[in-house]
Structure 1
Amino acid sequence: MKTNNSSLHLSIGLFVIVGLACTAYLAMTLANTTFFAGDSYEITAKFTAVNGLRAGSNVEISGVAVGKVSSISLDQTLYQAVITMNIDNSVGIPVDSTAAIKTSGLIGDKYVSIIPGADDVLLKDKEILMDTQAALDIEEMISKYVFGSVDK
């Protein structure tokens, strides 16, 4: 009795390929990255503190994700954190907007929230968002509340 081994090998090969593709998609989704990024433009903002923010964090306007943080670096002349963000081309950000670092929930992930300004001029690729608000340091606030002010 001879069975058709070639069709069996083909079906097993297809099953393995589909399984690997699903695993790659799941890994990229969990890592909060995309392999095939859509059209976007890059803007930067400087913050005095970015505690807990990381590359890959969301950039949101009114609670809607409009981009991702692509990198975080240090400006060694001003000792400020420089955040580079990729924003979807379909979203225009006025030049007088404000970027603030927020936390989702009490101890959730950090993200950049952009509060749109009223100017008609929009930020272009590689431009700088000037108005920023640093991350709120919850640990510092709790220690001040529990231990009181140490300034005398």
Structure 2
Amino acid sequence: MKKSILEFWVGMFVLLGAVAVGFLAFRVAGGTTVGGTDGSYTVYADFSDIGGLKAGAPVKSAGVLVGRVGSITLDPNSYQAKVSLNLDKQYQFSSDVSAQILTSGLLGEQYIGLLQGGDIDNLAAGDTIAITSSALVLENLIGKFMTSFAEKNAGSGEPPAAAE
């Protein structure tokens, strides 16, 4: 009898542990609670390069989480990335808000940062943010640096310095 009670409590402990791990994994992965879209509205932004931005990435303003990236599609007419932003209804932004793709730290995750404008009219559901700034892709910056370095050395007529 005592052994079966002990096994019951050990099983309950393991079950609670599994539920807790599942909940934490869901929260870390950027999941929202059930019915989390009821308190949000969707706006859109077009970017020429989104870098490594993914659906579910945070949308922040002044460092505060104000929403999440809903989906990312390619506009067949402009060949730009069309990003849907699901913003919390408690945060209203002016119609001249600007959106830029930023990175947390040097190699961290990418997110969208919103910078409030000065217009008195607010964004409505379905509106498109007109002022956007694309992601800075580290590989492109390194490639530009290497190209300019090679052109500089080719123009000087001197061989590149040997590493010691």
User: Does the TM-score normalized on the shorter chain lie above 0.5?
Assistant: yes
Q: Tell me the alpha carbon deviations over residues 64-98 of structure 1, each in whole angstroms, 9 at most, x when there is no partner.
A: 11111111111111101011111111100111111
Cα displacement (A) at 1:127: 1.9
After TM superposition, the structure 1 stretch with the greater mean CA deviation from structure 2, 29-38 or 106-115, is 29-38
Seen in structure 2, the aligned counterparts of structure 1 residues 127 and 150 have a Cα distance that, compared at 3 Å, is farther
Q: Does 1:108 align with 2:108?
A: yes
Distance 1:101 1:28 in 2: 24
With structure 1 as the length reference, what TM-score do the two structures score? 0.86
Q: Does 1:52 align with 2:52?
A: yes
- Alignment partner, residue 132 of structure 1: 132
Give 1:1-150 correspondences, 5 Å limit.
2-3=1-2, 5=4, 7-8=5-6, 10-36=8-34, 37=36, 39-148=39-148
Distance 2:123 2:137 in 1: 29
Q: CA RMSD in A?
A: 2.2
Matched residues, number: 149
Letter in 2 for 1:33: G
Letter in 1 for 2:15: I
Q: Percent of counterpart pairs with the same letter? A: 34
Distance 1:150 1:49 in 2: 26
3-state DSSP of counterpart to 1:85: strand
Distance 2:48 2:150 in 1: 22
Cα displacement (A) at 1:15: 2.4
Distance 1:118 1:21 in 2: 46
Question: Which has the larger share of helix?
Answer: 2
- Listed as ranges, the gaps of 5+ residues in structure 2 are 152-164
Cα displacement (A) at 1:134: 1.0
With structure 2 as the length reference, what TM-score do the two structures score? 0.80
Distance 1:97 1:24 in 2: 37
Letter in 1 for 2:23: Y
Seen in structure 2, the aligned counterparts of structure 1 residues 123 and 106 have a Cα distance that, compared at 3 Å, is same
